[in-house]
């Protein structure tokens, strides 16, 4: 599995399409913390609202780094299940890296104190929102949705929907917890929901891949 993830990573780096979501994330994060971002938890809520769509975009980039012919060759060698699992793992690793960056930046740039428990809760929230984005990205890219136009439309719709449905786990509940500055068990529930969602999305993609 490690070799397969490295192979996919090399493809992603070679294509360089990861630069657009990465640069967007860095630019918006820089603007968010360029001055006083307010209390730590609400500030982390802003970063969570950012990491979710960026993780969706990054996952679509990773899932479509190989063209369909090359993906068929990879799957014939490694198996559809392992290939899709590698896509999800690499996407989750990317989302985790973004979460770490978004957790550390305010600690280094803000004048307000960031206690360890607050930083831990912020990282947990960022990770949950990033993983939720990974799940959405898997559902909105090949092999679940093949045409690029429909993929973009579905991803945009699901990203927008998450902001309007209220405090529904995993994404909405995390934003609510951080925005209110109220650390509750909803983060743990949201984390479980995010893991279930990512797993279900991966299973769905694996099931559909041989038929597309």
- pLDDT tens-digit readout, 8-44: 999 899 989 999 999 999 999 999 998 888 899 999 9
- Would you place residue 50 in the very low, low, confident or very high pLDDT band (cuts 50, 70, 90)? very high
pLDDT for the residue 122: 92
Q: Rounded mean pLDDT of 46-73?
A: 93
pTM across the whole model: 0.93
Residue 183 has pLDDT above 70, yes or no: no
Peptide bond preceding 170 in cis form (omega within 30 of 0): yes
Q: What mean pLDDT is reported for the chain?
A: 91
Residue 180 has pLDDT above 80, yes or no: no
Rounded CA-CA distance 58/128 in Å is 15
What residue numbers bound the domain in which 104 lies? 2-211
pLDDT for the residue 181: 67
Q: Rounded mean pLDDT of 76-92?
A: 91
Domain count, the chain: 1
Q: Rounded mean pLDDT of 88-112?
A: 95
* Cα 170–chain centre separation: 12
Closest CA to 182 of 106, 104, 125: 125
């Amino acid at each position: 599995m490690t070799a397969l993830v490295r192979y996919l990573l090399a493809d992603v780096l070679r294509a360089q399409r990861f630069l657009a979501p990465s640069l967007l994330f860095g630019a918006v994060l820089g603007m968010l913390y360029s001055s006083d971002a307010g209390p730590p938890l609400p500030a982390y809520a802003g970063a969570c609202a950012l990491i979710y769509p960026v993780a969706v975009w990054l996952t679509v980039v990773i899932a479509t780094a190989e063209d369909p012919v090359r993906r068929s060759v990879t799957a014939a060698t490694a198996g559809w299940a392992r290939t899709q699992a590698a896509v999800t793992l690499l996407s989750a690793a990317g989302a985790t890296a973004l979460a770490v960056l978004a957790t550390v930046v305010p600690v280094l740039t803000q004048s307000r104190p960031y206690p360890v428990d607050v930083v831990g809760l912020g990282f947990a929230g960022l990770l949950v929102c990033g993983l939720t984005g990974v799940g959405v990205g898997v559902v909105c890219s090949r092999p679940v949705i093949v045409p690029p136009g429909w993929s973009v439309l579905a991803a945009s719709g699901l990203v927008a929907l998450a902001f309007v449905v209220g405090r529904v786990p995993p994404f909405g509940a995390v934003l609510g917890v951080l925005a209110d500055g109220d650390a509750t068990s909803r983060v743990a529930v949201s984390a479980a929901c995010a893991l279930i969602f990512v797993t279900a999305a991966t299973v769905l993609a694996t099931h559909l891949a041989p038929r597309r």
